[in-house]
Chain A
Amino acid sequence: NAGVTQTPKFQVLKTGQSMTLQCAQDMNHNSMYWYRQDPGMGLRLIYYSASEGTTDKGEVPNGYNVSRLNKREFSLRLESAAPSQTSVYFCASSEVQGNTEAFFGQGTRLTVV
Chain B
Amino acid sequence: GENVEQHPSTLSVQEGDSAVIKCTYSDSASNYFPWYKQELGKGPQLIIDIRSNVGEKKDQRIAVTLNKTAKHFSLHITETQPEDSAVYFCAADSNYQLIWGAGTKLIIKP
Residues in A lying within 8 Å of B, measured CB to CB: 4, 40-45, 48, 50, 58, 90, 92, 97-99, 101-102, 104-107
Cβ-closest 8 pairs across A and B: A104-B43, A99-B32, A98-B96, A42-B100, A43-B100, A42-B102, A99-B93, A97-B96
The reply to whether B42 and A106 contact each other, CB–CB distance below 8 Å, is yes
Known: A42-B100, A50-B96, A101-B49; 7 extra A-B contacts, CB below 8 A, are A4-B43, A40-B103, A42-B6, A58-B97, A97-B96, A98-B98, A102-B46
Contact with A along B71-107 (1 / 0, CB 8 A): 0000000000000000001000101111011110000
Give Cα distance in the complex from A71 to B43, angstroms. 21
Residues in B lying within 8 Å of A, measured CB to CB: 4, 6, 9, 31-32, 34, 41-46, 49, 51, 89, 93, 95-98, 100-103
The reply to whether A48 and B97 contact each other, CB–CB distance below 8 Å, is yes
Give Cα distance in the complex from A94 to B26, angstroms. 24
The reply to whether A102 and B98 contact each other, CB–CB distance below 8 Å, is yes
The reply to whether B97 and A101 contact each other, CB–CB distance below 8 Å, is no
Considering the complex, give the chain B residue whose CB is closest to the CB of A99: B32
Give Cα distance in the complex from A48 to B98, angstroms. 11
Given the contacts A43-B89, A101-B49, A107 and B101 also touching, CB distance less than 8 Å: no
Q: Chain B residues near A50 (CB, 8 Å)?
A: 96
Give Cα distance in the complex from A92 to B104, angstroms. 21
Task: Report the minimal beta-carbon distance from A29 to chain B, rounded to whole angstroms.
Answer: 14
Give Cα distance in the complex from A99 to B31, angstroms. 8
Q: Chain B residues near A98 (CB, 8 Å)?
A: 32, 93, 95-98
Q: Chain A residues near B89 (CB, 8 Å)?
A: 42-43
Give Cα distance in the complex from A48 to B43, angstroms. 17
